[in-house]
Structure 1
Amino acid sequence: MLLQIIFSFPTKGGFGRFVYQMHRVGVMSLLIIAVSGLFIGAVLGLQMYSILVTFGAESMLGTAISLTLLRELASVVAALLFAGRAGSALTAEIGS
């Protein structure tokens, strides 16, 4: 059904506009998501280090950060940032 919707553009050149919008919304959001993920990981590392020092488990910092980011935060943060970036871009395009 998705392919039927994608390939059923009523005007000529509609698929090119579709690909352009997908590139603009999807690919252009990757830099923002990567930079935000970097800073979130840094803050999480600083906070977790102070907690792990009290237990003498500083060597577990890398494992704890990677598990926390991959299992919990990465998908949620990426989805929120993508939705915010895509929504604001489309709203700005409608407004102009």
Structure 2
Amino acid sequence: MSAYAEVLQALTADSRLEPSDAEQLLARLRKETGEELAEAVEKQLDGRFRRQAGDSETAFRNKKRVYAASMRVVQAIRRLGAAPVRPNFPHQRDNRSTS
């Protein structure tokens, strides 16, 4: 049974769901949703950044760079989906002040 079906069943059932069980169900739902979203994005990217006959070295290098950035986003989606209930977000990469 998918996490969505279990959450729906738990929400529509007459019996009360324990908070820890609800957290586990919602975590499974979040993880499944993150995986499905990451897979859909990967499917959209598949073959889009392959080398074409007319590509120069610079154009192909730029395609590889954009593909790598896209895959980092896909991996971030997967990590956020699998994160604990209260994820710890990493610090920004730069140390500039926002004030």
Whether these two folds match at TM > 0.5 is no
TM-score calculated relative to the size of structure 1: 0.40
Q: Which has the higher helix share?
A: 1
